[in-house]
Amino acid sequence: MAALQKRPEIIALSRELKGIPLCEEYDLMISGMMYNPTVPKLLEARHLCRGFAADFNNLDTKTVTYDKIGEQRLELLRKFIGKVGDNTFIEPPFLPDYGCNVSIGKDCFFNWNVTILDTSLVTIGDRVQIGTGVSIITAGHDTSILSRRKFVEFGHPIFIEDDCWIGSNVIILPGVTIGQGSTIGAGSVVTKDIPPFSVAVGTPCRVKKTIQSAEEEEKDPNNPYRTLGNEDQ
């Protein structure tokens, strides 16, 4: 359902992002209130995103060496995504709606065909990995037929915290928070918050078990990952 008032904390978060289309309808949109997506500022923002995304998705990899492709793609991402951390790599095609409403942390990896409908904010932490065909959808519509005739809609923010793994073809719906370190199994539809350090799967997505934090794993002498990678440090 649509919110009845603006969310100051979400509006404050948006002001940390690059390229947002400042206007009254934008603040209504990211707050989860009913808004009109056809006002000029919002139309222009989506139009600009389409152009930059096309540049990103159509980068000619034959002209860029393998050791430079990450740097080139990150440079292109930073032209239309609100915030992107270092060493984040996204395989094309990547399909955001506004782009400017997306914040991605460092050391993330998205495989191809990730769609982000960022009507409201999408905040993704550090070291998040996302599989193929994932859809992150902040946009919502009322069941009212009149709302469609009036061409109004709403959106609620999505938060994916540090160290999460989102399996292939997962759909994440508006207003969801996925807690730190959680794994979402392939094909799941996430309709409600997932607590930290959970393994969750299904339609709707439900927690199947909890797991150790990274700090707990480091202290576990039976954990096989404790020593992996040490030779490169």
- The secondary structure of 137-197 as a DSSP string is E-EE--S-HHHHHTT-BEE--EEE-TT-EE-TT-EE-TT-EE-TT-EE-TT-EE-S-B-SS
Q: How far is CA 94 from CA 21, 24, 169, in A?
A: 21, 28, 14
**β-pair type (189-190, 198-201):** unpaired
Question: CB count, 10 Å around CB of 192?
Answer: 12
Query: Which residues have a catalytic role annotated?
Result: 141
90 three-state secondary structure: strand
Question: CB count, 10 Å around CB of 203?
Answer: 11
77 three-state secondary structure: helix
Q: Is 197 left (phi over 0), alpha (psi -120 to 50) or beta?
A: left
